Amino acid sequence: MRFGQYIVLAGAMTFVAACKPSPDPTPSPEPQATEVAPAATSAVEATSSAPAGGGLNENSSSLHGNVQDLHMQVNLAADAMFDFDSAVLKATAAPELQKAADAIRSKGKGTVTIVGHTDAKGNDAYNRKLSLDRANAVKDWLVANGVEQTYNVSGEGASKPIAPNANADGSDNPEGRAKNRRVEININSTKTVAE
């Protein structure tokens, strides 16, 4: 072997020795296990089983509610609120509307959305107008009774049923249609960044 090759070989061995980690005289402590807290439950998953505020847990055929972390939905049965084919509130609707008003006052911090719905009887354009007029009637009552909020009002007509309008054999389903005639009030209990 020539002298130059010895120098290259000696240099390579020095490089390898330099790359080899040196033993550490003090051992590093064992990593300790840490407990990770579970992630916060989303509003969709965290439906509360506790009764809703504002008397929503009372037995009532026209008012139902669901409470979630950031959202509450109040359903008003249209048959208890309005006469057939009418958007004028009945005098008997006031107690149910007062419960909804109390819920908005205690929980509402953002936009309150009021959506009217009808059953499938009648044509689509008529049902959309009737459902919008009913939603506006509810909003007007709330405003007239001192519930000052930002409101978003719409009418869906028969486009979003919660029960079948007809039975499996094609016959009329009066109970299902009655459930579909409703006004939903969606209450946010936190403000968005824009609000």
Per-residue pLDDT tens over the stretch 167-182: 999 999 999 999 999 9
- Give every strand in the sheet of 63-67, ordered side by side: 63-67, 71-77, 182-188, 112-117, 151-155
pLDDT at 62 over 90: no
Query: If you classify domain 63-188 with CATH, what class do you get?
Result: alpha beta
Which burial class, exposed, middle or buried, applies to 26 when counting CB atoms under 10 A from its CB (0-12, 13-18, 19+)?
A: exposed
pTM of the predicted model as reported, rounded to 2 decimal places: 0.63
Q: What are phi and psi of 64, to 5 degrees?
A: -135, 155
The percentage of residues in the chain with a pLDDT greater than 90, rounded to a whole number, is 54
The 10s digit of each residue's pLDDT in 5-33 is 444 444 444 444 444 554 554 444 444 44
Asked whether the beta carbons of 190 and 110 are under 8 A apart, the reply is yes
Domain-by-domain residue ranges, the chain? 63-188
Please give the pLDDT value at position 13. 45
Q: What are phi and psi of 183, to 5 degrees?
A: -125, 125
Please give the pLDDT value at position 179. 95
Please give the pLDDT value at position 134. 98
